[in-house]
């Protein structure tokens, strides 16, 4: 069930970006916000990496777009392209699925240094569902402002 909901939200983010040009994907919401659909895709690639590779997988890898641990850097999609952002996101989602599939159970735990606590894979998956759901709400508004598309 967790996997199905997480994949549903991943697919929803992709759907919100379907059919848009790079320029449209980089269109900002409303000043002073710099939020864009492409920035959300980049952010979610970063979040997938942080939780599945770095926390659950224990990999010592840098963030995708920042060597200084700046999670906000991913939102800056001003020079980004669909190809670049989606390639990184798809790579991180695929890796996350491998980490999840290889786990003994959802009770596997790892230390989350930013929260200074141990977390289970179950908690990580729930957190990811929450993260996507929140940002998919942003994506709804962004997409509607670009071309009027609403729904799902």
At 116-142, the pLDDT tens digits run 999 999 999 999 999 999 999 999 999
Is the confidence at residue 107, as pLDDT, over 90?
yes
Domain interval for residue 104 = 2-147
SS3 of 108, please? coil
Q: For residue 152, tell me if it sits in a domain.
A: no
Instruction: Give the Cα separation of 65 and 76 in Å (integer).
Output: 9
pLDDT of the residue at 152? 64
Element of type H or E holding 15: helix 2-17
Q: For residue 100, tell me if it sits in a domain.
A: yes
Structural domains in the chain (count): 1
Q: Which are the contacts of 61, defined by CB distance < 8 A and separation ≥ 6?
A: 49, 53, 54
State the pTM of this model.
0.95
Cα distances (angstroms) measured from residue 92 to each of 97, 102, 148: 9, 15, 30
């Amino acid at each position: 069930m967790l996997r199905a909901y997480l994949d549903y939200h991943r697919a929803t983010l992709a759907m919100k970006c379907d059919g848009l040009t790079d320029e449209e994907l980089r269109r900002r919401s409303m000043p002073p916000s710099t939020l864009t659909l492409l920035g959300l895709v980049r952010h979610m690639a970063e979040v997938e990496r942080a939780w599945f590779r770095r926390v659950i997988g224990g990999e010592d890898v840098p963030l995708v777009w920042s060597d200084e641990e700046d999670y906000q850097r991913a939102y800056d999609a001003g020079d980004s392209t669909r190809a670049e952002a989606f390639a990184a996101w798809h790579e991180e989602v695929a890796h996350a699925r491998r980490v999840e599939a290889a786990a003994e159970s959802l009770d596997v735990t790892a230390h989350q240094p930013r929260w200074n606590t141990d977390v289970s894979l179950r908690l990580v998956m729930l957190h990811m569902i929450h993260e996507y759901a929140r940002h998919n709400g942003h994506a709804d508004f962004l997409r509607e402002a670009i071309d009027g598309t609403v729904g799902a």
